[in-house]
Amino acid sequence: MENYNETFTDFILLGLFPTSSLGLFLFTLTILIFLMALTGNLCMVLLILLDSQLHTPMYLLLSQLSLIDLICICTTVPKMASGFLFGNKSISFIGCGVQCFFFAMLAGCEGPILMSMAYDRYVAICFPLHYPIRMNRRVCVLMILGSWVMGVVNSCAHTVYVLHIPYCRSRAIDHFYCDIPAMVTLACEDTWIYEYTLFLSTVTFLLFPFIVIVGSYGKVLLAVYRMRTQEGRKKAYSTCSTHLTVVTLYYVPFVFTYLRPKSFRSPAEDKVVSVFYAILTPMLNPVIYSLRNKEVLGALARVAVKFRSTTM
């Protein structure tokens, strides 16, 4: 029998998997994915930090993407795993607020980071001679800081709201983490104004970066098409296709979840789709960037040789 140990201010996370053999199998698979994502993103951050040849705007931005994925999966999976294993699915009011804050911050930060990465490739391919000026270290740092600041400000506004609305219905959240839209459905006051604000916020953080990304890659593909050398085309296509794959993994689940009309949404669908951007994407991103990037593989070899020589 499950023990929730709930107080009046606790929330209950109903979780993701049923308490059955199928649920145990899916849970085990999720833990393996979690460990892969944890290892892959941590290695990517450390690799970019340790190898001086990767201290370029492109890889500094990539390190931020890996850091976002690392924090994201650590925000959601451990609590979900604890609830499934020990049956204690309650989460404190403050703990739920912390989950809301970090997840909303990371979701809001990732769009501008991907937009900055698209702009970086646009300048590198379309204006290679101007690249050292347009994408120098200072510009890159400002892009990174701006992305994090926008994510924090956006997250603070949403988190403060969900922590101050009255919850007079059941406090059972039909999700595996404290998802803001799922929490709002439990409020006992009319929240249509906030839901409209949340929709506008999602459009802002999804649509504007998406327009910049599409515009950047439209010009990039046109420039690649005009390249005379086959080797240059191949390298440009490889870089762009890798980034576009990551962009697709980010946008499709978020658009499907947050930009659909409320009448077309269901808690079961939202939970399944959230698995993609909260668990699967953090695992896939480092695999995509490492396996299809010769510079990352080369850096991995250099760091491994350096580490081996220092330990011998």
**pTM of the full predicted structure?**
0.89
90-122 pLDDT per residue, tens = 999 899 999 999 999 998 999 999 999 999 989
CA 233, CA 221: separation in Å to the nearest integer?
A: 9
3-state SS assignment for residue 222: helix
Lowest mean pLDDT, pick from 115-119, 124-128, 250-254, 290-294: 290-294
Q: Which amino acid is at 110?
A: E
Lowest mean pLDDT, pick from 198-207, 276-285, 290-299: 290-299
Average pLDDT of the chain, as a whole number: 85
Q: CA-based angle 77:81:86, to the nearest 5?
A: 155
pLDDT level of residue 39 (50, 70, 90 thresholds): very high
Per-residue pLDDT, 146: 95
Sorted by where each starts, the structural domains of the chain and their CATH numbers stand as 11-298 (1.20.1070.10)
CA 253, CA 236: separation in Å to the nearest integer?
A: 27
Phi and psi at residue 173, to the nearest 5°? -90, 120
CA 73, CA 57: separation in Å to the nearest integer?
A: 25
Parallel, antiparallel or unpaired: strands 172-173 and 90-91: unpaired
CA 133, CA 140: separation in Å to the nearest integer?
A: 11
Q: With 80 as the cut, is the pLDDT of residue 250 above it?
A: yes
131-189 pLDDT per residue, tens = 999 998 899 999 999 999 999 999 999 999 998 888 876 788 999 999 988 888 888 88
13-35 pLDDT per residue, tens = 998 888 888 989 999 999 999 99
CA 112, CA 107: separation in Å to the nearest integer?
A: 10
Q: With 70 as the cut, is the pLDDT of residue 124 above it?
A: yes
Per-residue pLDDT, 143: 95
128 backbone φψ class: left, alpha, beta (φ>0; ψ -120 to 50) = alpha
